[in-house]
Structure 1
Amino acid sequence: MAEIVQNAEALELLDELTVMTGRADPYPRYARLREISPVVRAADGALVVTGYADCSTVVRDPRFAHLPADMLAFIGLPDWRDHPALLQLFTSLLTLNPPDHTRLRRLVGSAFTARRVQALRPAIERMVADLCEGLQGEADFVDAFAFPLPVGVIGELLGVPAGDRAQFQSLVRDWTQVLEVITPEVLRTADPAAATIRAYLADLVERRRREPADDLLTALVQAQAADDRLTDDEVLSNAALLFAAGFETTTNLLANGLSALFAHPSQAFGDPAAAVEELLRYDSPVQIATRVVTELVELGGIPVEAGERVVAYLGAGNRDPRRFPDPDELRLDRPDNAPLSFGGGIHYCLGAPLARLEAQIAFPALLGRFPALAPAGPGERRDSLSLKGFTSLPVRTG
């Protein structure tokens, strides 16, 4: 029977993914890890999987759970509740397991039904048209389009006033560093950012209690008041998560997608739905999902014991040649496409339909309005692998 591999080459490849040079283009390293073994043990003891089938199992099979917040005490963070960055993360939908996850998802999920998302189409089309108007000459695509579009959409949905939204780009980027690695240095940046976000939302929650509005934040507040299903921490943590996830992932999708299109100018942007799925597959805005095994299970024919921590490299699964022929080629009309970029199972991204809709509207509008749209210089990748994207992407409209 096959065994879990831990060898010098695998450890070196994983180590390369912790630095900017490896993160900018991780895909060759993913491919080599996949060749070495279906399951590789990292230096910190976690198991790493890079195949599509195994990554799909990790995010869909209920035997793989999110790491309980209590486990933070066992990795040197017994005071995790004293860190705003961790408290805000580990009391949110992103990291909870049933039954708390089930309760919260049922409440919040009503805002992201297919009907409600499609009802936003006219508003998104107007935002895209307005942003195209401002995208003239040379500009930074991230600042001028990829950030303001999704932050405008999720801001309207959640109820964050338009004038307050711009400040959250850097705040969320600093807070979400804890998704990459938790160190004292990271917490020194992430904690004040999370505290600022929390203080702002706490003030907005109080205003919604006094003056309800037709938005998701009011719905969260009223659910709390109705039968105490939500604690104060849950209201604030999930409001922060929904707002941050609502623009962070979509910003990365838009910038990664445009960069991929620049690199493949011969590709015709035909069916928007198919094209966006391929852009999600080709350079996923979310690259990693971490779980803990709750009972004996097999990955790649290798038995994995309960208690093991597993890291699924979703970006690697999206480039698995056993699932996608010629996976390193961008094919905007790729058939039978099912990227792992939004996860799966009970933790499948609530905002996936909204992110898809924004991209399906944005790319045809951009390419139609600016047929000569081109890079105006090298883009700058963000120093992150969990959330893969750009901090800047200079463009010229032509």
Structure 2
Amino acid sequence: MDLGMLLSEQGRVDPPALYARLHRDGVAQPVDGAARGFAAAVYGYEAVSQVLKDGRFRQLDADYLDLTTPQWRRHPALRVLRDSMFFTDGPAHDGVRQIIGRAFTARRVNALEGAVTELTHRLLDRLAQLAADGPVEFMGEFAYLLPSSVMAELLGVPQDDLAWFRPRVLAIGAILELDGANWRNMVRADTAARELSAYFTDLVALRRTDPRDDLISLLAATELSDEALVANLITTFNAGFVTTTHLLGNGLTMLLERPRLRAELGAGNVGSYVDEMLRFEPPVQILVRYAPEDAEIEGVPVPAGQAVLAMIGAANRDPARFADPDAFDPARPDPGSLSFGFGPHYCLGAALSRLEGQVAFPALFERFPDLALAQQVGNAPKPLILRGHDTLAVACHGR
């Protein structure tokens, strides 16, 4: 596979067209991008599942960066990421995940439905007020605020600080792109990491003297080092709403482009709509793993130290797994997408993200039955790792 094609403007505008071509050539192939450290692209549904659960392929951890970027510890953003459970495997990952997972049990998520519903309607009231002056920026005023407010409540982050967080979260997210770790992005991400680290360090100190029923207090009482504690708070908070933000933005455009399906959306079928949104346009299109030792996937060799592109967006459109994969069909009997990953790093917040989507979409269209895009979305290139809209202007007409 030509990596340049994936990273090109056309590849970013319309990755499903590339995915369709790849599926005609099997389930995996070598990457013409060895200089970037990528050996293989895996895009068949079963093959991607195998990479994500196979212990031969690891997160891009500290050992990997020692091989590829020896000076990486000079960058606070890279240190924060590598000190977190999101870029570790084995016991270092499992122990922290078990602790943080207590905040995302099925019981606790189900108990949040009333709070999510109340918050949704408060944000809709705000949209109605803003709409009196013209189009509203949906991503900042709703898609970001709903999931970030829920995560803030779980962690113990003051709601008044959410506006401060967003640009810093975006700065760190930018370096996760396949070609995103350029000098300008790294400077911004490092600044954001310093500021976020100082913020959470202060908040942890407060919780140690005044503990509450929140995740910060829970983690502050563990034996985690201060560096690992702060790193996991930053990454858990960021990951807890970024993908849901894109689910809400991507899902809204899907519905607005399909009036018939939007009209059929209701409380009884909203779960299947959300699952199909996640399959059709996953907020995370690609995950990257590397082989610490020589390995092979579907006949493609992966030399030690080289990386594999696990293409979730393509796997979700594998015709061997999904009939008519390029059609948006909420009535699919078994959506079963890989949008929340697979294996030991399966997204802890998957159930919460689904809940937020299931509450938000019916409420949006009940409140604003004539909700519409204020301008065409167009074909601007988008990121591939965290795929969604930066902004989305909507006209909110309704009750």
What is the TM-score normalised by the length of structure 2?
A: 0.91
CA contact (8 A) 2:12 2:381 kept: no
Give 2:189's aligned residue.
190
The C-alpha deviation readout for 1:186-234, integer Å capped at 9, x for no partner, is 21121111111111111111111121111100101011xxxx2x01111
For residues 361-385 of structure 1, the C-alpha deviation after alignment (integer angstroms, 9 at most, x for no partner) is 1111112222211111133868421
Q: Which aligned pairs between 1:1-398 and structure 2 lie closer than 5 A? A: 10-11=1-2, 14-37=3-26, 38-43=28-33, 44-46=36-38, 47-75=40-68, 77-136=69-128, 137=131, 138-180=135-177, 181-223=180-222, 228=223, 230-267=224-261, 268-270=264-266, 271-293=269-291, 298-302=296-300, 304=302, 307-379=305-377, 383-398=382-397
Q: Return the letter of the residue paired with 2:265.
A: F
Partner of 1:5: none
Determine the C-alpha separation between the residues in 2 that align with 1:209 and 1:178: 32
Aligned length: 381
Task: Let me know the Cα RMSD of the aligned residues.
Answer: 1.8
Distance 2:127 2:100 in 1: 34
Match for 2:384: what amino acid? L
How far, CA to CA, are the matches of 2:155 and 2:231 in structure 1? 13
Does the aligned pair in 2 maintain the 1:159–1:215 contact within 8 Å? yes
Provide the identity percentage.
43
Counterpart contact for 1:378–1:393, Cα < 8 Å:
no
Structure 1 residues 203, 21: closer, same or farther in 2, change over 3 A? farther
Distance 2:273 2:108 in 1: 23
Provide structure 1 residue ranges, at least 5 long, that are not aligned to the other structure: 1-9
* CA apart distance, 1:272: 1.6
Deviation by residue 1:298-330 (Cα, 9 ceiling, x = unmatched): 533545555442111101111111111111111
Give unpaired runs (5+ residues) of structure 2.
none
Q: Distance in 1 between matches of 2:215 and 2:229?
A: 11
Partner AA of 1:61 in structure 2: D
Give the residue type in structure 2 aligned to 1:391.
Answer: D
What SS does the aligned partner of 1:289 have? strand
Q: Cα distance, 1:358 vs. partner?
A: 0.5
The answer to whether the 8 Å contact 2:64/2:305 transfers is no
Report deviation, 1:49: 1.2
| Distance 1:329-1:280 versus aligned 2 partners, 3 A rule | same
Q: Answer with 127-136 or 299-308: which moved more.
A: 299-308
Task: Check whether the contact 2:48–2:312 (CA below 8 A) recurs between aligned residues.
Answer: yes
SS of structure 1 residue aligned to 2:341: coil
Residues 10 and 381, structure 2, Cα contact 8 Å, conserved in 1: no
Please state whether the residue corresponding to 2:355 is helix, strand or coil. helix
Q: CA deviation at 1:21?
A: 4.3
Distance of 2:381 and 2:88 partners within structure 1: 27
